[in-house]
């Protein structure tokens, strides 16, 4: 393959295209996908646990004014870096704490990914395939759903994708004798943002993909020369390092906990959530990109692989998918959102296969109906999710917000209700009453998250994480309290079963506890009667 000749052809071809719009095509792409991904982002309540957890941490950051240390129930929460929380808290500060604002990070990441992919394909292939590729990506159900899901997966996928596309553009531009320094610098910044999104994978995965691409195209030396660019690494450190350094200075155990426990051990251990077999991600990619995935049959023909034009780009996309899929298939624990970085190259290959089938006179009329079916499937899924969120406590939280008075403590019993902090607009941490059995704390759950956070603020944990035998004294001290817990209270608080709940939502109930009421006072065994709440 004559890469230089191909690149020169592409450059001449792109420059000869007439401009038919008053603004660049990428602006049209950005506007379309921004509206598409945002149109239904407000429909459903926060999903539990992920959206409730991460939006709740962002809410705590906003209400506390501490934009440096993420907290869960007021305790330092170092499962993930802060970029998602910064974006979400900033969005809620600008637009108010609504569902749309809480999903700003995922929306911004999806729009950025689709636009970056469009610009890359438009530059190195052409406008038709750029639009087809973005159409496939934007209407792939997995990508569409993740674009409206407030967790870290879409954000880190966007940073990984931007890093790879910018670095690949720099490599192709350098081969063609075109300027490449700005794109390469931007790639290092994108990698740093990826690290601030979810940790080491933000830099590791792009390095693996680009190195594998260089090896597959026999240009490893040139690729490595770009990857070892010293000014780029200075940019990377300047963007990524300050937050980690600040946390290490404030919390001496931070480095071990974040990098060893949360990054290495979570990757290598099978003791975390959702263990799945090795074929999980290939199956998920095929199933969750329907109805587009059947177009991949176009990759099976000899004529497709015999084409030399854009072969280097096809190889990039193939190794990109392969590296991401293999990397996340190695651990026993697998969550479907982890595979999101493989969707942009998959969309490119589906669009490329569709182009090949059209050129061969096969299935040329099926592309638009496929796009229509895919779009309808995305909208239907969003509508269903609006009505089916069985773990949401939005209604209960809004009832609590309407009835609670300032200063009244809130107690969670036998659970940590992630979304109540957000929906009730609580301005102080809650008390959490549980047995805290070691066997339950060891599991990857809300208990483990709170106990892990407690190691960085033991004094705060002592005040907030209570055993049942400490709970009654806490209720007696307060003129009035609110309790959120199971409709049938745990046996360790039998007195609560005799109290009438204020509100019930499914299996969860809300109680208002006033110790000055004689029957409540007697049930609590308070030594003295507190003054009634004003």
**What pLDDT score was predicted for residue 328?**
92
Q: What are phi and psi of 391, to 5 degrees?
A: -95, -5
Residue pointed to by tokens 């954000």: 155
* All residues at 6 or more sequence positions from 152 whose CB lies less than 8 Å from its CB, including other chains: 54, 80, 84, 105, 197, 198
The 10s digit of each residue's pLDDT in 267-306 is: 776 556 677 888 899 999 999 999 999 888 878 777 777 7
Q: Which residues of the chain have pLDDT under 70?
A: 1-23, 269-273, 308, 358-365, 489-492, 527-534
Residue 94 to residue 96: CA distance in whole angstroms: 6
Closest CA to 377 of 152, 167, 143: 143
Provide the mean pLDDT of the chain.
88
Residue 425 to residue 420: CA distance in whole angstroms: 8
The 10s digit of each residue's pLDDT in 422-471 is: 999 999 999 999 999 998 888 888 999 999 999 999 998 889 999 988 88
**What pLDDT score was predicted for residue 359?**
65
**What pLDDT score was predicted for residue 18?**
39
In the chain, where the domains are located: 103-266+276-387, 394-524
**What pLDDT score was predicted for residue 238?**
97
């Amino acid at each position: 393959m004559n890469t230089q000749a191909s690149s020169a052809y592409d450059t001449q071809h792109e420059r000869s295209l007439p401009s038919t719009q008053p603004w660049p095509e990428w602006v049209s792409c950005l506007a379309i996908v921004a509206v598409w991904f945002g149109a239904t982002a407000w429909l459903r309540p926060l999903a539990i646990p992920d959206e409730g957890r991460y939006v709740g941490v962002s809410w705590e950051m906003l209400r506390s004014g501490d934009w440096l240390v993420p907290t869960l129930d007021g305790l330092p929460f170092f499962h993930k870096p802060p970029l998602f929380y910064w974006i979400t808290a900033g969005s809620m500060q600008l637009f108010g704490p609504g569902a749309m604002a809480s999903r700003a990070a995922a929306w911004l990441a999806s729009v950025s990914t689709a636009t970056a992919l469009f610009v890359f394909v438009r530059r190195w292939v052409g406008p038709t395939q750029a639009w087809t590729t973005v159409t496939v990506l934007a209407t792939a159900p997995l990508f569409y759903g993740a674009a409206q899901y407030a967790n870290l997966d879409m954000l880190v996928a966007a940073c990984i994708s931007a890093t790879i596309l910018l670095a690949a553009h720099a490599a192709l531009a350098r081969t063609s004798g075109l300027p490449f320094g700005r794109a390469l610098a931007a790639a290092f910044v994108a990698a740093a943002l990826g690290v601030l999104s979810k940790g080491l994978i933000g830099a590791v995965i792009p390095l693996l993909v680009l190195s594998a691409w260089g090896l597959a195209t026999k240009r490893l030396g040139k690729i490595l020369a770009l990857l070892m660019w010293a000014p780029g690494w200075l940019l990377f450190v300047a963007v990524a390092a300050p937050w980690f350094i600040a946390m290490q200075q404030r919390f001496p155990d931070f480095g071990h906990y974040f990098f060893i426990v949360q990054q290495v051990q979570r990757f290598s251990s099978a003791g975390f959530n959702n263990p799945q077999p090795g074929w999980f991600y290939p199956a998920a990619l095929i199933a969750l990109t329907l109805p587009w995935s059947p177009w991949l049959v176009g990759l099976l023909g000899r004529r497709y692989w015999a084409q030399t034009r854009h072969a280097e780009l096809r190889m990039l996309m193939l190794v990109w998918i392969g590296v991401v899929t293999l990397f996340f298939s190695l651990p026993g624990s697998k969550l479907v959102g982890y595979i999101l970085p493989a969707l942009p190259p998959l969309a490119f290959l589906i669009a490329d296969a569709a182009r090949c089938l059209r050129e061969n006179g096969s299935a040329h009329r099926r592309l638009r109906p496929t796009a229509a079916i895919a779009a309808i499937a995305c909208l239907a899924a969003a509508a269903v999710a609006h009505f089916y969120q069985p773990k949401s406590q939005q209604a209960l939280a809004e009832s609590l917000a309407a009835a609670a008075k300032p200063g009244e403590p809130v107690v969670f019993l036998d659970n940590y209700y992630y979304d109540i902090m957000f929906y009730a607009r609580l301005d102080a941490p809650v008390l959490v009453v549980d047995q805290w059995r070691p066997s339950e704390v060891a599991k990857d759950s809300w208990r483990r998250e709170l106990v892990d956070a407690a190691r960085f603020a033991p004094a705060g944990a002592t005040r907030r994480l209570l055993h049942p035998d400490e709970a009654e004294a806490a209720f007696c001290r307060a003129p009035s309290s609110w309790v959120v817990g199971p409709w049938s209270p745990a046996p360790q608080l039998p007195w609560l079963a005799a109290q009438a709940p204020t509100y019930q939502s499914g299996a969860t109930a809300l109680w208002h506890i006033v110790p000055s009421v004689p029957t409540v006072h007697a049930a609590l065994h308070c030594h003295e009667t507190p003054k009634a709440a004003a």
